[in-house]
Amino acid sequence: MVDAQPRQRRTPRLRSVGDGELRLRHRVVHGYRRAYRMAGEGPALVLIHGIGDSSATWAELIPDLARTHTVIAPDLLGHGDSDKPRADYSVAAYANGVRDLLATLDIESATLVGHSLGGGVAMQFAYQFPERTERLILVSAGGVGGEVTPALRAVSLPGAHLLLSALRLPGMSLHVGLFLRLMRLVDADLARDAPELLNLVDALPDATSRSAFIRTLRGVVDWRGQAVTMLDRCYLTEGMPTMLLWGDRDGVVPVRHAHGAHEAMPGSRLEIFEGAGHFPFHSDPARFLALVQEFTSTTGAADWSRETWRQLLRAGRPGTAAGRPDTVHSRAVERELREASERSAT
């Protein structure tokens, strides 16, 4: 797919970031208003949030990242301050939307940082537009294995609109808070993300927001768990600098998915945040910033080649009939693939 050549660590050119740069901006793309934050100068760094979230999740990190990068943090369609039409909320559509927004901003290529659903979008973007992808940083990413928190599986079922509406009734936030405190008492992994989970509930104030959330969720999750996977195409990241960041107490997407993705992505790097849940960049922002800055400054941008991409596709996934000999790694990947009931849209 690509040939990434290591390069010498560069001395970052630091600059201050004004409050005005962190404000929400808007662009109309395909007739829909897209919200985004943009700050800094230098190589492009795109921050893609998870389901039900928005670019605000990165707000405390953007000033530091913008000292050495042009940072773009969009509100995905159906999220945050972006429009919420009755539209295509598939992972592939989101990848297209990120590409089109970047095009309007004159960004030809970028390093993508994706959290949760945003990690799946980042992987899909790299698959659809490898020539526009310099590096991948996947944070507690979806789209690797089938497991996901039962709460999201429940919301994918019929009647989810009523369930989410009930969470907005007076007094329900108190009950949800008590439930999360109970989980904290029993040291449940999900309780580590209690503030973020409560924020996600607050981010669905009306029927339009809830409808967009459910349509997005059903594009990737059903009652059995995650319904899409990128494992069958992870071999195409060969030569693409890739770093995986995960909390070892992630109650939404289990940390074992990080190890599976690491095995399936040739040359990838894995960093585990001990004691962190689904939002390691909130749990330990200093380490997150240091890792992102070190990774982007010490790895060369992927140099995509049409011929190399063709060769990888012809060779196929390791362990398949057209691929290289079977290994322990490829057998583990094949096992995950058998468990996945569907595949990502292309």
Q: Known catalytic residue: 250?
A: yes
CA distance 27 to 121: 20
Of the listed 250, 268, 284, 344, which one is catalytic? Answer: 250
Gap between the Cα atoms of 198 and 164, Å rounded:
12
Task: Determine which one of 49, 69, 79, 278 is catalytic.
Answer: 278
Alpha carbon distance 121, 95 (integer Å): 6
Report the distance separating Cα 272 and Cα 261, nearest Å. 13
* Phi, psi angles (nearest 5°) of residue 114: -125, 130
Nearest to residue 290, comparing CAs of 28, 24, 12? 12
3-state SS string for 185-222: HCCCHHHHHHHHHHHHHHCCCCHHHHHHHHHHHHCCEE
Output the CA torsion 38→41→43→48 (10° steps): -20
174 exposure class (CB count in 10 Å sphere: 0-12, 13-18, 19+): exposed
Place of tokens 């980042």: 122
Give the three-state DSSP class for 308.
helix
49 is catalytic: no
Please tell me which residue in 54, 55, 90, 116 is annotated as part of the active site: 116
Catalytic status, residue 278: yes
CA angle 193, 197, 203 (to 5 degrees): 150
The residues that are catalytic are 116, 250, 278
